[in-house]
Amino acid sequence: MAKQQKPKRRGRPAKFGPRRNFNFRLSEQLHERLTDCAAGAGRSLSEELEMRITRDFSWEDSKVDIERMKVQAAAALDTARVQAIRAAGLAILRDIDGRPTRVVVDLETILAESDGVARGLRSGFVEDTTPAPTSETRPMTAEEAQRLLEELELTRRKIDEAIERTRAADAAAKGKVA
């Protein structure tokens, strides 16, 4: 017995396989814009809509992937930070002479060490090699003394003016209250 063939479908052949109809409303401006874009790309209006919807979904998928990668990168960064802090703590312990039974190291020191801050910026890492202040003082020149006196006089005038303003404000406030 021979297989019975399906009757041939009428109309245009399906280009992309079976499709479902979907009806919705568009504003006139959006319809014109879509029609122009479809004509410019050589697609039908249905193909243009399907391409744009598919592209939008792929953008959403990409956004989800990016967010997932951001979370993974943050976790990796946190892990690297913890490892750097551990290594800094071990480096500090190695720098301590002898075998202490108790070590007190503040968190700022460990974080500074893990960030690679120069050891000289925190106390306790290097010897203090700053030169001692000399006991000899040089005498002031006449120009330096004159400049210093002028600065002192200017400062004294500013203080006197501030005192007068304060007294005037206090008197005005007292007059309003009484």
Mean pLDDT computed over every residue of the chain: 76
Domain assignment present for residue 61? The answer is yes
| Cα separation, 96 vs 93, whole angstroms | 5
pLDDT for 120 beyond 50: no
Residue 134 forms part of a structural domain: no
Q: What average pLDDT does range 133-158 have in this prediction?
A: 83
Residue 134 confidence (pLDDT): 65
66-79 per-position pLDDT tens digit: 888 888 888 887 77
| Token reading at 13 | 């052949």
Q: What domain range includes position 86? A: 26-126
- The pTM of this model reads 0.36
* Between 22 and 133, residue with greater pLDDT: 22
**Same structural domain for residues 68 and 38?**
yes
Q: How far apart are CA 167 and CA 50, in angstroms?
A: 80
**Number of domains making up the chain:** 2
Scan for tokens 């000399």, then name that residue.
134
| Predicted pLDDT of residue 82 | 74
Lowest mean pLDDT among 6-20, 25-39, 72-86, 125-139: 125-139
Are 100 and 178 part of one and the same domain? no
